[in-house]
Structure 1
Amino acid sequence: MTVLAVALALLGSLFFALGAALQQFEAAGAAEPGLRGLLRRPRWLFGGLAIAAGTVLHIVALKYGPLTVVQPLGVASLLFALPCAAALHGRRLRAGELAAAAVVAAGLIGLVLVVPESSGPPHLGTGEAVALLAGAATAALLMGAAARRASPAARAGLLATGAGVLYGATSTLARVLVDGNRELWFLAAAPIPALVALALLQRAYALGHFGVAFAALQVADPLTAFTFGALLLGEPLPSGAADTLVALAAAALAAAGTVALARTTPLSSAPDPTAR
């Protein structure tokens, strides 16, 4: 069963990576990287279907294998995504890009492995849910504001980080809903940060720096979910000196790999749609 779980998780990562690469290719080639225009592009929609298929495969993998085995394999999508994107743009992938992506993946795996599993069902009150959404929105707004004055590579990373924060907030709400929370407004509110995150992510993809954008997303999403889980849901964080040191080292690796990816050549020469 564990072998099946590993196979499903890796296949899910491949689908997720292919979908992200297709959406970035379309966003980078669009005159206006807004969702309205992208929704009319079949290849972008196919990318969305691939991402959905990857998500379903990852969920099924969790049924057949433990979280500590399946979850780290999700970061393989970063290693799959770069070759897919490079092939779409007709250029050769550099060894340094894969090495930087591997560093990010190693950092994410380290973070996942030292986070203890929750021992009980989560609970989120109305005030805490409002704080969750307000905190995520504020962080995303700050990232967007900082991106206006940043270089294209940094702008892509900041916009994708904002998207990752919003996706992390969505994941936190989804976790509460899946475990039986009956607050109907939670269900109504959950898609809102996800849709805003999707729009931010397409703007990040349009800048051409796919590596840094995808890496920033992969780092920000789980870190946000871990943080909200600990602060609002009472879920455990790494305890003990050894686990804390591993978590700090893993976070440093992920950050260093993302910075290294930001220094690579853009995947496309598309003009910056946010430039004035």
Structure 2
Amino acid sequence: MPADLTDLTDQLVLGPSQAIGIPIALIGAVFLSLGAQFQHRGVTKVEASRGDAVPGLSMSQIFALLARPSWVTGTLLIGLAIVLQLTSLRFAPLIVVQPLGAIALVITSVLNARVSHVKLNRQSVRAIIFCVGGVGLFVTVAAFTAVEKRITSAQLITILIILAVVLAVFAVLFGLIRHRMGAIAYIVAAGVLYGFVATLAKVVINRIVQGDFEWLTILCLVGLLAAGAGGAYCVQTAYSAGPPDLVIAGLTVVDPLVAVGIGVIVLGEASQAPLYAIPLFIIAGAIAVYGVFQLAKHHPQARH
């Protein structure tokens, strides 16, 4: 096959058929916000009935969550959100779909304010605008510049090596400073791990579609499950240390930044982007991250 035709088959610019991934991802974000609210309620009830002086959920608290209807409902809703997210990844590039979860932050903030009867102050609202605005700018640029590329075995091995290093570093830090970790630390850890989950899910989906289901794909599934388990623990612990909208703010910013970083650096999904897109990506990411830390600082419930 001629080189130009090979390049054409390897790069699929975002078109009408791929754009269907965007509304699917938005619907998933709605279920994510609802699930987060239910899970947060379950975690806070378990903590209230089984107090623990040590930061982080204990094994007894984790098992107790399974008996909380609110937590189970939230888990089912988040499971549905994940299914929708994986479906959206089948159609659209990672750097377009993944940041769309930021819409869940707005929904979660409104829900939590009504449920907890805690009105968001001006600084919190401004922080949420920064989060959503930064992610929105990122998605807008990515939607017009992203390309879908075939994932090679070398790229896949690179992702798995990076994940192994990240898991090892997090395990060491957790063992050393667990007693000093607050909500923001667990949120960042969960966001990083879920970023790898999204990336590996995209990889597995693409390789199955391409008919490349072999030992490397199975190793990807193992890495996905390991990162997912670690991220789930961090999220539940973050719920016990902070409000749900702060948790969702961290996840919908850190998660896509990690996934997008991998998509850009390792998978080459921004290889066709014009030069002006790179500084816009950086500025958009910085705005969103600034919003997360401002929300952690000024949110009424986080301050309490």
Specify the TM-score bucket, using the shorter chain as the normaliser. Answer: 0.7 to 0.9
Amino acid at match of 2:290: A
Instruction: List runs of 5+ in structure 2 lacking aligned partners.
Output: 1-15, 51-56
Which residue of 2 is the match for residue 200 of structure 1? Answer: 234
Amino acid at match of 2:116: H
Deviations 1:172-212 (A, max 9, x none): 22122111242223223321110111001111110124333
Contact kept? 1:156, 1:209, Cα under 8 Å: no
C-alpha distance in 1 between matches for 2:262 and 2:96: 23
Aligned match for 2:116, one of 86, 89, 98: 89
Contact kept? 1:146, 1:158, Cα under 8 Å: no
Which residue of 1 is the match for residue 81 of structure 2? Answer: 54
Q: So what's the TM-score if we normalise by structure 1?
A: 0.80
| 3-state SS of paired residue (1:47) | helix
Deviations 1:82-116 (A, max 9, x none): 12223332333334423311210111122233344
C-alpha distance in 1 between matches for 2:157 and 2:93: 33
Instruction: List runs of 5+ in structure 1 lacking aligned partners.
Output: 270-276
Aligned match for 1:40, one of 67, 80, 94: 67
Amino acid at match of 2:78: I
C-alpha distance in 1 between matches for 2:186 and 2:292: 14
Query: For structure 1, which segment, 27-36 or 186-195, has the greater mean C-alpha deviation from structure 2 after superposition?
Result: 27-36
Which residue of 2 is the match for residue 233 of structure 1? Answer: 267
Amino acid at match of 2:41: F
How many residues end up aligned between the 2 structures? 265
Amino acid at match of 2:184: G
Aligned match for 1:23, one of 39, 43, 48: 39
C-alpha distance in 2 between matches for 1:138 and 1:65: 31
Is 1:214 paired with 2:221? Answer: no
Q: How does 1:1-276 map to 2 (within 5 A)?
A: 8-31=24-47, 33=57, 34-58=61-85, 73-115=100-142, 116-125=145-154, 127-138=157-168, 140-141=170-171, 144=174, 148-149=179-180, 155-180=182-207, 181=212, 182-183=214-215, 184-236=218-270, 239-263=273-297, 264-266=299-301
Quote the sequence identity (%). 26
The structure that is helix-richer by fraction is: 2
Q: So what's the TM-score if we normalise by structure 2?
A: 0.73
Larger radius of gyration, structure 1 or 2? Answer: 2
Task: Give the CA RMSD over aligned residues.
Answer: 3.3
Q: Alpha carbons of 1:82 and 1:174: their partners in 2 closer, same or farther (altered >3 Å)?
A: same
C-alpha distance in 2 between matches for 1:26 and 1:15: 17
The one of the two structures with greater contact order (alpha-carbon pairs below 8 A, sep at least 6) is 2
| 3-state SS of paired residue (1:91) | coil
Q: Alpha carbons of 1:171 and 1:5: their partners in 2 closer, same or farther (altered >3 Å)?
A: closer
Deviations 1:108-165 (A, max 9, x none): 1222333442342112447424413223314534774667436xxxx21121110111
Contact kept? 2:95, 2:269, Cα under 8 Å: no
Amino acid at match of 2:225: P
